[in-house]
Structures are given as C-alpha cells and as structure tokens.
Amino acid sequence: MSTPASLASGPEGPHALRPLLDTVLDALNEGAQARGGPLPAGGPQAVAARMRAAVGDVLPDEGDPDALHTVVRALAEAAADPVDPFCTAHLHCPPLAVATAADLAVSTLNPSLDSWDQAPGASELEALVTAALAREVFGDSGGLRRETSGATTAPVGPPQPLPSALITTGGTESNQLALLLAREACGAGVRLVHGANAHHSLPRAAWLLGLAEPVVVPAPAGALDPAALDEALTELPGPHLVAATAGTTDAGIIDPLPEIAALCAAHGARLHVDAAYGGGLLFSDRYRDRLSGLDTADTVTLDLHKLGWQPVAAGLLAVRDPGDLTVLHHRADYLNADDDTDAGLPDLLGRSLRTSRRPDALKIAVTLKTLGRSGLGRLVERVCDSAREFAALVDDHPGFELHDRPTLSTVLFRPAHATDDAVAAVRRRLLTEGRAVLGRARTDGRLWLKVTLLNPVTRPDDLAALLKLVEGNTPG
C-alpha cells in the first residue's frame, strides 16, 4: 500500500496509484449498494447528518490512512447517480468510462494551461480539439466566403481565418464570453436581445458586464418568435446582439435558427446561439438538420458534459471569426514575456479569462477519437429515441398528459387533472424517498414534471417502470 504522501506522477506514480484506484472503485461500489437507488433517501437533513457522521473530523490532528475509502464511500452513498434510469431531472449525464479514465491522466500529470512550459503537449492537444469542434459547428469551407451564380460557386475575396473555439467550464462561462466578445466588437452600447426561453446566464452576463437591461422577446410555445424579434430589432437602436437557443433547459426546444439568422443579417445584428444542450446533435446524421442555421452564428456555446457524456467540466465557445479573440490577449511577464513569445513559445493567456486551468481537452480528445462522429451520433440518437418512446407511453396513458413531442431528449408530462401543488408534491416525495429524480418546468401557466434522458443504455422497460412509479405516487 502506498503511503498517504506518495506522489501520483513520476517513476513511482503508477505503483502508488494502482492500489488506491482499487480502494476508490471498491468504495464507489459499496456506496452505491448502500444507497440502493438513484439518490439517497431521507431528504436534505437526513443525508447531511449521515454524511457528517461518516466523515467525522475533516482536519484531525493525526491523519487517517482509511480516509480515501471512508470519504469516497460516504460520497457515493450520498450521491445522485446519473446512470440510474430513474435519475432524469437535469442535463446531468453519466460520463463515459473512457472519458473518466482520461480525466485521471489529467489529474496525474496536472498540466496547467496558463503557460506553454507547464503544458507543452496539452496546449497543442487543446488546439487540435478546439479546431476540430469549431469545424463541426461552422463547417470546413477553408474560411472562404462564396458567391453562387448558376451552377458555379466562386470564392469571394481573400481566404478568411478559420473558425476557432475556447474550452470553458460550461454554458454559463461560454455565454459570458460570448457577450464579452460582442461588447468588444460592437461597443459598450450593444443591446442583448433574447427570447423569454433563454438561459438565465445570458441576462446575468449582461448585468455582470455592465450592459443595458436586455430586451426580452416573447417565446410562445417555448421558441423565440421571429416576428417579435423583427419588431424589436426595427424599433430598438443598435448595435444588437441576438441570443438564440438550441435546446432550452425546460423542454429542449430549438429556436427557428434560419429565420433568426436571416433577421440578424437584415438588421446587421450579431448572433450568438446557446447550443449547450442541443449542440450534441451535430454528431448525428439523423438529427443534425435540426441545427440548420447554427453555422451562421458569430459565436456558439457547446457543452459536452451534456450530449457528449463527459465528466464536468467540458464546455466550449466556438467563434466564427478568430479575430474576435484578440481582445482576450493579456500580458503577464512570468507567463508570456514578449521575448519568449517572439522566440516562438506559444502564448496561452488569451485562450481563457482564467489563469490556472486544467486541460479538459484531453478527455474530449480521447472520446472523439475513441467513438468517432458515428459513435457519438449513435449515443445522441439513442437518448433522443428514448425520449420519443417515453413520450409515446405518456400519450397513450389515460392518467397522464403530455406537453408536446420531444425535440431533443426532454419530455414534459403531468398527471391528468392534478393541481400544480400535487405535481410538486409527487416530485418531492420521490426525491425524499430516494426513488426517482424528476425535474420540474413551468410552461403554459402550469407545472410539469420533466424527464431528461441522457443515459444511452436506458431500456424501454425502465421507461415504463418510471411512469408506473409516478402513477403509483400520484394522489387519487
């Protein structure tokens, strides 16, 4: 057994890690068995009490050699398990084993992407991953603008720089960066215009950056209304940043991107698309066309810890014009001195607003290369198909009401004739008893139960059992 102070890297690193990995895996298994369901039973106070009792003194005078097993087991027993078919509340995916294993390598090597001499290989790997995903969003046209006349297509003007992307901690950071880039490109007077269905991080980012109060456009049926957007852009003085959504957090709805893009072009507005949820459709040949118009955006948010099955965090901001990123350039002599940069050492500070940051690109790179576009596409299609299957079960059941057919992998439903208070009570009861994790969404003036299916191995009988569980816990 390795000593508690053994290092994870270096010649002795593998020898030190192997027995510890066995300890972690055993503790995870024991904790999951003790939990016995998708989340711990008893509610917040009971779970907190059990956690405190299991962990004890976090900083004792003398160390505990069994702490790794003790704390991991306690955490696993008190965890919400996204692989459980009844854990369906949020955009909280079960991570792929290969991505999780790659994440161990990152923790072991511990590169920091604030200077090249801390992360020589990781910096190049990040460049490869971000370039590949930027091409996935914007296409691989070599940056040429093209003009079509008859049957021929000819380049217009000189080649443009290829699109780029930044690794972020998720949709919130990506959306904040998108607004920052828009402010710097258009001026501090830029006005954010977004649908009533937009993610909360967008108006919050406008506040954080000192921008004017955003203009909220109606989103009937959950999608931004193009006619209302046209009216807003016509009446409001510019410049404008329009934020569209490709996959809302409540129902997974995708805004009409082609119409929104056309309006932005007509009004000279900048376009950002928050595709944190729906961006995973890019990997699917069957569902990719639901993102038609995404490639016209100036910036696009992606989250691969949703429909990408990565451990948190795995966010990206894809940028059509890499010149927009020059505003992020920053100088700190101990990290990117002028003469080092002139001598050829890559400057990494302009790739993030963070300084120290781990190379989350590694797990993404391993996943992309292991599964390929087709493998990831199949996972996307499985969860979207599961949502359709669950929606059909709800629609066929006289005791339930279906909100609408799913666009992605989210289904909204509710017990027929139930009050909003009853719907909320069913959800909390299942949570407290540790039997199911269902989400909630308020739309059309009513409260709905939300099922977000991100487990690609969920079976049809799991879906039927989940619906039966809700039925059996709904007051008559």
| Confidence label for 160 from pLDDT (cuts 50, 70 and 90) | confident
User: Residue 131 in contact with residue 165, Cβ under 8 Å?
Assistant: yes
Q: Give the tens place of pLDDT for each residue, 33-49.
A: 999 999 999 999 999 99
Residue 2: the pLDDT is 62
Q: Tally Cβ neighbours within 10 Å of residue 349.
A: 18
Mean pLDDT of the chain: 94
- Rounded CA gap, 295 and 473, in Å? 45
| Confidence label for 474 from pLDDT (cuts 50, 70 and 90) | confident
Residue 140: the pLDDT is 74
Residue 157: the pLDDT is 61
| Confidence label for 150 from pLDDT (cuts 50, 70 and 90) | very low
| Confidence label for 92 from pLDDT (cuts 50, 70 and 90) | very high
Q: Give the tens place of pLDDT for each residue, 11-35.
A: 999 999 999 999 999 999 999 999 9
Stretch 393-419: mean pLDDT, rounded? 97
- Rounded CA gap, 78 and 265, in Å? 50
329, burial (CB in 10 Å: exposed 0-12, middle 13-18, buried 19+): exposed
User: Residue 474 in contact with residue 449, Cβ under 8 Å?
Assistant: no
Q: Which amino acid is at 119?
A: A
User: Residue 30 in contact with residue 73, Cβ under 8 Å?
Assistant: yes
**Which residue in this structure is represented by tokens 């795995």?**
314
| Confidence label for 161 from pLDDT (cuts 50, 70 and 90) | confident
Does the pLDDT of residue 148 top 90, yes or no?
Answer: no
Does the pLDDT of residue 237 top 90, yes or no?
Answer: yes
Stretch 398-408: mean pLDDT, rounded? 97
β-strands 315-319, 299-303 pairing: antiparallel
Stretch 244-249: mean pLDDT, rounded? 98
Does the pLDDT of residue 94 top 50, yes or no?
Answer: yes
Does the pLDDT of residue 356 top 90, yes or no?
Answer: yes
- Rounded CA gap, 425 and 280, in Å? 33
Q: Give the tens place of pLDDT for each residue, 415-469.
A: 999 999 999 999 999 999 999 999 999 999 999 999 999 999 999 999 999 999 9
CA distances from 343 to 116, 281, 286, 349, 352 (A): 13, 42, 47, 16, 22
Show the 3-state SS of the chain: CCCCCCCCCCCCHHHHHHHHHHHHHHHHHHHHHHHCCCCCCCHHHHHHHHHHHHHCCCCCCCCCCCHHHHHHHHHHHCCCCCCCCCECCCCCCCCCHHHHHHHHHHHHHCCCCCCHHHCHHHHHHHHHHHHHHHHHHHCCCCCCEEEEECCEEEEECCCCCCCEEEEECCHHHHHHHHHHHHHHHHCCCCEEEEECCCCCHHHHHHHHCCCCCCEEECCHHHCCCHHHHHHHHHHCCCCEEEEEEECCCCCCCECCHHHHHHHHHHHCCEEEEEECCHHHHHHCCCCHHHHCCHHHCCEEEEECCCCCCCCCCCEEEEECCHHHHHHHCCCCHHHHCHHHHHCCCCCCHHHCCCCCCCCCHHHHHHHHHHHHHHHHHHHHHHHHHHHHHHHHHHHHCCCEEECCCCCCCEEEEEECCCCHHHHHHHHHHHHHCCCCECEEEEECCEEEEEEECCCCCCCHHHHHHHHHHHHHCCCC
| Confidence label for 262 from pLDDT (cuts 50, 70 and 90) | very high
- Rounded CA gap, 108 and 105, in Å? 5
Does residue 313 have a cis peptide bond before it, meaning omega lies within 30 degrees of 0?
yes
User: Higher confidence at residue 145 or residue 401?
Assistant: 401
Q: Give the tens place of pLDDT for each residue, 284-307.
A: 999 999 999 999 999 999 999 999
User: Residue 393 in contact with residue 465, Cβ under 8 Å?
Assistant: no
pTM, whole model, 2 decimals? 0.94
| Confidence label for 153 from pLDDT (cuts 50, 70 and 90) | very low
Q: Give the tens place of pLDDT for each residue, 305-338.
A: 999 999 999 999 999 999 999 999 999 999 999 9
**Residues 279-282: contacts with CB within 8 Å, 24+ apart?**
279/137, 279/246, 279/247, 279/303, 279/307, 280/304, 280/306, 280/307, 280/308, 280/376, 280/380, 281/307, 281/380, 281/408, 282/136, 282/137
- Rounded CA gap, 118 and 96, in Å? 27
Does the pLDDT of residue 130 top 80, yes or no?
Answer: yes
Residue 143: the pLDDT is 43
Stretch 165-190: mean pLDDT, rounded? 98
Q: Give the tens place of pLDDT for each residue, 192-216.
A: 999 999 999 999 999 999 999 999 9
Residue 1: the pLDDT is 52
**Residue percentage of the chain with pLDDT more than 90:** 93
User: Residue 236 in contact with residue 191, Cβ under 8 Å?
Assistant: yes
